[in-house]
Structure 1
Amino acid sequence: MRDRVRVVVQGRGRRSWHARRAGLAGALWAAGELAVTVGVVVMLLVVHQVWWTNRQALSAAHEVVRELEGGGWPAGPEGEGQGEGTGAEEGPDAEASVGPSGGSGDSGSPGGAPAGNSGPRTVDPPPRASAYGILRIPRLGVAVPVAQGVDKRSVLDKGYAGHYVGTAQPGAEGNFALAGHRNTHGEPFRYINRLRAGDELIVDVRGKRYVYLVGQTLAETTERDTGVIAPVPRSAVTPGAGYSEPGAYITLTTCTPEYSSKYRLVVWGTLKR
């Protein structure tokens, strides 16, 4: 009788051990499935952000370029002789402020455009977020719409180059300053670090063409270095970077390093006379 009791107790112990083992295996399996599911979701988000947004924005931007090339120019500035915009715009997102997100973000720009540049104002600037010109960068094979303002959602995320409100119009004395995404959302400024002195930056506005020649590049500056988009562009952070004499300038700004909005990359050019 005593032996039987001992056998029954041992049998229950084995069943309990097997049950615990099965429960642990089930928990590990569930955790593994959850990890795989989360990984797939994250991967899809990355694919959407890095690939799909590029595809969408790039396709839409190319369509706008084709429309403008076909004569679909909106009412807006005609270039030379244009004065300043309607005032300073709020500092944009991480790629859109040099005191910018990119991100697209992606898209950097200094935080707040400087007011004022030379030249009489003869025509009102185009509406905010409206594409009114085309920036062409032959070395990079880029043709991107130019729109007024550097708002992320309504301008930069569409794959446009955003014109800092308060800076000069194309062809005018002062600084025609632009921001664009380096990564995602069409990433029109992704490779502007490859530009060299003498490369052309071409701006088409309502049938008029303005050709600028790259003069200087600032590989890295802070997002608050608003001097880079001043009427006479000159870095307030890096001594000697920029210009000291009035003229007709163009400035391209974006985020750096890639897939980061920590610093800003700047390319300057001067109008070819």
Structure 2
Amino acid sequence: PRGVALPLPPEDDATMPLRRVAAPRVPPAPTGGRAERRKAARRAERARRDSLGVVVSRLLGEVFITLGVVMLLFVAYQLWWTNVIAQQQAGGAAKDLRRSWARDGGKDRDAGAFSPGEGFAIVYIPKLDVKAPIAEGTGKHKVLDRGMVGHYGKGPLKSAMPWDRQGNFALAGHRNTHGEPFRYVNRLRPGDKIVVETKSAFYTYEMTSRLDQTSPANVGVIRPVPQGSGFTGPGRYITLTTCTPEFTSTYRMIVWGKMVDERPREKGKPDALVD
């Protein structure tokens, strides 16, 4: 009937809205006891010791790498850069020498008139493609390390000049590093030419013999009639001396030759330099 309120049906659980139910709080797991803490401390100590070892190993590795790089740079300096510098110095000395010849003219000076390190000639070895200025003396710093060939010109080792009517024109040069002008003199064979140019003339020598190894104290190899050369009497000779074996200065290698031609510079280069 109208006006009478009907009671609502009871709510069905299936029709009720879903409610979010919070997950139960799980208590933290209990930490280990004293024994576990000691184990953790030992593990941390071992980790610290390992870290120190790693640091030391890295430092040693860096030191060895640095030393290796320094050694490689030194080898490169000795074997390559000293040649670059010495060849530049020798080339400049040869140009200066030619300019002085053109400017001053005149004849060659007497033996002993040159100061140590002063250039006075140029040596050519066509077979070895060698061209190097010759300076007075055989000093390492003033002459040889500058890529030049040194002349035994003073004291008990004094030798002749190319323009002397007889005697032995004795020279020294590096075989390795600093220009190494005599690097391959061991390749010379009898008949190969060695030419010396001075202010007034070209002097051509012909290689005759070689001594592969002798003591540095054997000064007889640069005497006027050099011992061991096969020459039996006075003449006009040339002697090339250099260190051997390569990269050492234990012994000396000797190359000898005899003069076969003298040509004034105004007549042009000798055949050995034209071919």
How does the TM-score come out when normalised to structure 1?
0.77
Aligned twin of 2:237: 249
Aligned twin of 1:78: 108
Distance 1:8 1:137 in 2: 85
> Whose relative contact order is higher, 1 or 2, with alpha carbons under 8 Å and at least 6 apart?
1
Deviation of the 1:11 alpha carbon:
1.2
Distance 2:230 2:52 in 1: 68
Aligned twin of 1:231: 224
Q: Is residue 2:81 matched to residue 1:52?
A: yes
Q: Is residue 2:200 matched to residue 1:171?
A: no
Report the 3-state secondary structure (helix = DSSP H, G, I; strand = E; otherwise coil) of the residue aligned with 1:9: helix
1:228·1:242 contact (CA, 8 Å) conserved in 2? no
Deviation of the 1:75 alpha carbon:
9.2
Q: How does 1:190-209 map onto structure 2 within 5 Å?
A: 190-209=183-202
Q: Is residue 2:42 matched to residue 1:13?
A: yes
Aligned twin of 2:52: 23
Report the 3-state secondary structure (helix = DSSP H, G, I; strand = E; otherwise coil) of the residue aligned with 1:39: helix
2:93·2:133 contact (CA, 8 Å) conserved in 1? yes
Aligned twin of 2:249: 261
Distance 2:125 2:183 in 1: 12
Cα distance change, pair 180–23 in 1 and its aligned pair in 2 (3 A): same
Distance 1:67 1:199 in 2: 28
Deviation digits for residues 76-132 of structure 1 (CA, Å, limit 9, x no counterpart): 9827xx55x4xxxxxxxxxxxxxxxxxxxxxxxxxxxxxxxxxxxxxxx21111011
Identity %: 41
Deviation of the 1:69 alpha carbon:
3.1
In structure 2, runs of 5+ residues without a counterpart are 1-31, 262-275
Q: Is residue 2:138 matched to residue 1:145?
A: no
In structure 1, runs of 5+ residues without a counterpart are 86-124, 236-240
Q: How does 1:41-120 map onto structure 2 within 5 Å?
A: 41-72=70-101, 78=108, 82=110, 85=112
Cα distance change, pair 64–20 in 1 and its aligned pair in 2 (3 A): same
2:172·2:240 contact (CA, 8 Å) conserved in 1? yes
Cα distance change, pair 42–50 in 1 and its aligned pair in 2 (3 A): same
Report the 3-state secondary structure (helix = DSSP H, G, I; strand = E; otherwise coil) of the residue aligned with 2:190: coil
Deviation of the 1:21 alpha carbon:
1.0
Aligned residue pairs total: 224
Work out which of the residue numbers 27, 50, 69 in structure 2 matches 1:40. Answer: 69
- 2:108 partner amino acid: E
- 1:40 partner amino acid: V
- 1:38 partner amino acid: L
Deviation digits for residues 145-173 of structure 1 (CA, Å, limit 9, x no counterpart): 00000000000000000000211011321
Distance 1:18 1:205 in 2: 78
RMSD over equivalenced CA pairs, Å: 2.0
Deviation of the 1:248 alpha carbon:
1.1
Report the 3-state secondary structure (helix = DSSP H, G, I; strand = E; otherwise coil) of the residue aligned with 1:17: helix
- 1:55 partner amino acid: V
2:240·2:254 contact (CA, 8 Å) conserved in 1? yes
Deviation of the 1:57 alpha carbon:
0.7
- 1:259 partner amino acid: F
Distance 1:148 1:216 in 2: 25
Report the 3-state secondary structure (helix = DSSP H, G, I; strand = E; otherwise coil) of the residue aligned with 1:272: strand
Cα distance change, pair 76–149 in 1 and its aligned pair in 2 (3 A): farther
Q: Relative to structure 2, which stretch is displaced further, 242-251 or 26-35?
A: 242-251
Look at both structures and tell me which one has the larger radius of gyration over its CA atoms: 2
Structure 1's consecutive aligned runs of 4 or more residues displaced over 6 angstroms after TM superposition are: 73-77
